[in-house]
Amino acid sequence: MPSPYRALFAAPGSKGFSAAGFLGRMPLSMMGIGVVTMISQLTGRYGLAGALSATIALSAAAIGPQISRLVDRHGQRRVLRPATLVALAAATGLLLAVHLSWPDWVLFACAAGIGSVPSLGAMVRARWAALYGGTAQLHTAYSFESVVDEVCFIFGPIISIGLSTSWFPEAGPLLAAGFLATGVFWLTAQRATEPEPHPRERHGGASALRSPGLQVLVATFVAVGTIFGAIDVVTVAFAEEQHHKAIASVVLALYAAGSCVAGVVFGLLRFTGAPERRWLLGVCAMTVSMIPLLLVGNLLFLSVALFVAGLSIAPTMITTMGLIERHVPRAHLTEGMTWVSTGLAVGVAIGSSVGGWVIDAAGARAGYGVPVVSGAVATAVGFLGYRRLRKPVRQRGGALEHHSEREERHVA
């Protein structure tokens, strides 16, 4: 491991909470695809399988920021454990409902309950921010966590699908639930590195989404999520048109691998200058990298194009996390990070739906127009909101106080 990463784990407790966060994040990439595999095997109803997976994603997008907001106010241990118990109970209910052939509405109710799963990535990043806030090492920490995210998305679906198809249909979701329980309870047992809650901060009842800068980031990442959702669906369809549907998982793994490699290298670099400029450059790079997908003629070309496209993902995500810290008060940091994940989740749902519609209407190759258009939208939102990103908040307790507000008081 390169020296900046060795230095990162010199802090007491850092290895423990990072490992717990890794286990707790695996369900993010395992549960949805595991439910799809399970339902399709047991019932043969792919429409129901997709609808349940979308219900889990949208429920998590709606509930996740509220859980993280409570975490900021009351602490990780007090909030994460009961929230996780609700998610585990819902997952158990879903498995039983499928096995016993209960009505569909029970399946959807349980799927919605699974959405109470906490955002472990935000929890771990909040711990890194508590350790290294304001230092260059925080950049390395965020880079490492982006690499962990990509590792989860490379191996999680493979494990989930493999278990459900080779062992028994419920195996994938069951293992995902086990990872969630282990990760959350292990993480919350580590009290020494838990960020201090902010129960009585001024304006503590307000949402982190009041920050204009965070609004720009979330809106942009809805479009970025649309890219991801569309690429997943269209790539599977394209591989099927090429009569090699099984290769789709390998091609998508290369997309994540490109991001993983870029994240490792990006974490070794030190930057000067305005981070919002690097962020906007990253969004533009993601958009440009989508254009070659319109020209794909075979799976080899597609694999190379997606690997190259993946190189811009992790650096953009890492810079985004740094910008959240600049635009959201410390009392709302976990919530702010979760809002970006929510934007991504909503975008993935949109991209999957629109991508599927375009495939049905015009074929898989035309489907790659969806990520191209989505990238253009992300870039447009980034440029339109750039001025907001140049005005970070001043960290004064938990209050949301922008530079422009300070200037007005100074003039007065």
| CB 340, CB 218: distance < 8 Å | yes
User: Once rounded to an integer, what is the mean pLDDT over residues 42-71?
Assistant: 82
Q: Which residue has the higher pLDDT, 410 or 368?
A: 368
CA end-to-end distance (rounded Å), the chain: 53
**Is 207-403 in CATH node 3.90.550.10?**
no
Other Cβ atoms within 10 Å of 98 Cβ, number = 23
Q: What is the pLDDT of residue 303?
A: 92
Of 53, 109, 113, 122, the C-alpha closest to 82 is 113
The answer to whether the 14-196 and 207-403 domains have the same CATH topology is yes
Four-CA torsion 264, 269, 270, 272, nearest 10 degrees = -110
pLDDT band at 374 (very low <50, low <70, confident <90, very high): very high
User: Once rounded to an integer, what is the mean pLDDT over residues 284-303?
Assistant: 92
Q: What ranges do the domains of the chain cover?
A: 14-196, 207-403
What is the tens place of the pLDDT at every residue in 86-128?
A: 999 999 999 999 988 899 899 999 999 998 988 888 899 889 9
Could you write out the three-class secondary structure of 299-355?
HHHHHHHHHHHHCCHHHHHHHHHHHHHHHCCHHHHHHHHHHHHHHHHHHHHHHHHHH
Query: Both tokens of residue 91?
Result: 């997952």
What one-letter code names the amino acid at 139?
H
Fold observed for domain 14-196: Growth Hormone; Chain: A; (1.20.1250)
Mean per-residue pLDDT over the chain, rounded? 84
Residue 392 clears pLDDT 70, i.e. is over it:
no
